[in-house]
Amino acid sequence: MPSYSAPLRDMRYVLKDVFQMDKQWASLPALQELIDMDTADAILEEAGKIAGEVIAPLNREADEEGSHWSDGAVTAPSGFKEAYQTFSEGGWVGLGGNTEYGGMGMPKTLVGQVDELVQGASISFGLAPMLSAGACLSINVHASDELKEKYLPNMYAGTWAGAMDLTEPHAGTDLGIIRTKAEPQSDGSYTISGTKIFITWGEHDMAENIIHLVLAKLPGAPAGPKGISLFLVPKLLVNEDASVGGANGVSCGSIEKKMGIKASATCVMNFDDARGWLVGGENQGLACMFTMMNYERLGVGIQGLGAAEASYQNAREYARERLQSRSPSGIQAPEKVADPIIVHADVRRMLMTMKAFNEAGRAFSTYVASWLDIAKYSDSETDRKHADTMVALLTPVAKAFMSDKALDATVMGQQVFGGHGFVREWGQEQLVRDVRITQIYEGTNGIQAMDLMGRKVAMNGGSSIALLAKEIHAFVEDNSGESAQEYTQPLLASLHLLTQATETVVSQAQDDANAVGAAAVDFLHLTGYVTYAYMWAKMALTSQALLAEDEAFHGAKIATAQFYFQRLLPQTGALAQGISAGSSAVMALASEQF
């Protein structure tokens, strides 16, 4: 049977030892009185208990049961409502929320760890608080004080949930062609009419009310994305005293039958003259949405990491117990009929690959979160601007590279189980199905790659990559000792490939309109491998310094770093070669030749 154990030791290692986040928290005035490492430890301990003891035990049976739709109402799988209430009562929905309205105000560097715990326990469940937190973020930044006071306290408390309504049947990535309409009313509200699809937890019975953030167009709005506005539309109308009133014109037409995340309701939502209220300015809807998009896209990468960690944990335990054949280097378990499969090099290759990508992903997501915290909390305009640039560069990598490697990790975990990985009772095939969506929603990974290569690199001539390269060079200069060179020299070599590839595509794009698209995915993966190498160099040198304190733990970190540099990082060479080839082979066929 599948199980999940909170990886708290690794999380504390990343926060305390690798990044020394207590120093950053102490340097940001808004966080100084809220968070220190002891507080973080206590929060992680409690979150680990809820994830492992309350949420994870529901995951497999909830997948088999699924959510239920009947006459517009959605019922969550057995146990989800009670678990959501337990989760909400602990204040977890508002963990990163504005303290003025009842949130706990914790930094993303800590919230991201809690997110991983919840998603590792169950992506289907974790999507509900994730979407609520994203909706709260947009409301907090862009809504009027009146709307914030009316909605945020109950949303942070989990009494009310949140949903994001963007996609329409004909408009996925191209939101500029949405048809949902908003008509202004004399009382300052709007009537919203239209249909949205793929709305995660758009309807359910876990909360008293559901607050939808809906993209729509006002009469006479400019064509395309410049004419989109954002509206707050509650499922149930809210009275002046913030109590729940009558029904609004919001209904769920159906829920999707899906490959994975079957326990979560993916809804078709109909808005029939539903009352809504403008969030932000007219025609500023995309800007309001993008306030939370970096957090949500990082959150999707963390979803993948959670599932990949769960897959690794179960594969590791299975490999320690499953007896098959004898070790080629000699019998390891003479008292048994065969040796456990963990003795075999290929099984170890899979486990080491999973371990290397998971632990680098945890460090990388924390690194990206640290820039989000600086951008949000720093009182230095220069630091905030620098952080914004780094967030813009790294977010598509966090979403796409982390989720791509998460799918790889869940497939490898399934492979370790052999035939047992293909049947439901062991839970591995569910992780493969569940994590697959992370490459698709919040902007497909191809779109993320185009965003990185086009907007974040080519459009600025590679200046953002130069900022990352400058930071890595400074790190190498600060760690110039002989014992560091095992990690810093291949890191610099891979960084050189990245900077060369940047120059190549920027040059190609001047004469070839397809150059960016042809290079995009390879470039994103190249960036991912290099940034993971940066994370592993940091971790290896940290563990070298701490080896005497815990030889088993830190020795494993050093060995995994060596595996990453020797066996995984060399893939950067092939990626760089593909990028340099340009777009000619990609675009060679006429459409009828496919």
Which pLDDT score, from 0 to 100, does residue 466 have?
A: 98
In a 13 Å sphere around the CA of 562, the CA atoms on its Cβ side amount to 10
Taking CA atoms, 3 is separated from 52, 55, 386, 426, 442, in Å, by: 8, 11, 41, 9, 28
pLDDT by residue (tens digit) across 433-487? 999 999 999 999 999 999 999 999 999 999 999 999 999 999 999 999 999 999 9
**DSSP string for 120-164:** HH-HHHHHHHHHHHHHHHHHHHHS-HHHHHHHHHHHHTTSEEEEE
Q: Which of 442, 471, 486, 549 is an active site residue?
A: 442
What residues form DSSP beta bridges with 191? 183, 275
CB 233 within 8 A of CB 189: no
240 labelled catalytic: no
DSSP H/E element including 356? helix 345-377
For the record, the structure tokens of 235 come out as: 């499922």
User: Residue 228: CB partners within 8 Å, gap ≥ 6?
Assistant: 175, 176, 178, 215, 216, 217, 221, 283, 285, 286
Is the pLDDT assigned to residue 1 strictly greater than 80? Answer: no
Which pLDDT score, from 0 to 100, does residue 263 have?
A: 98
pLDDT by residue (tens digit) across 51-91? 999 999 999 999 999 999 999 999 999 999 999 999 999 99
Which pLDDT score, from 0 to 100, does residue 207 have?
A: 98
Which pLDDT score, from 0 to 100, does residue 112 have?
A: 98
For the record, the structure tokens of 23 come out as: 């120093």
pLDDT by residue (tens digit) across 91-138? 999 999 999 999 999 999 999 999 999 999 999 999 999 999 999 999
Percent of all residues in the chain with a pLDDT value above 90, rounded to a whole number: 97
Sequence ranges of the domains in the chain:
445-587
CB 410 within 8 A of CB 433: no
Instruction: Please provide residue 2's backbone torsions phi and psi, each rounded to the nearest 5 degrees.
Output: -70, 150
Burial label, 425 (beta-carbon count in 10 A; 0-12, 13-18, 19+): exposed
Percent of all residues in the chain with a pLDDT value above 70, rounded to a whole number: 100
pTM: 0.97
Q: What is the DSSP letter of 228?
A: -
For the record, the structure tokens of 509 come out as: 């794009």
pLDDT by residue (tens digit) across 288-343? 988 888 889 999 999 999 999 999 999 999 999 999 999 999 999 999 999 999 99
Distance CA 571, CA 502 (A): 17
> Which residue shows structure tokens 């459009």?
459
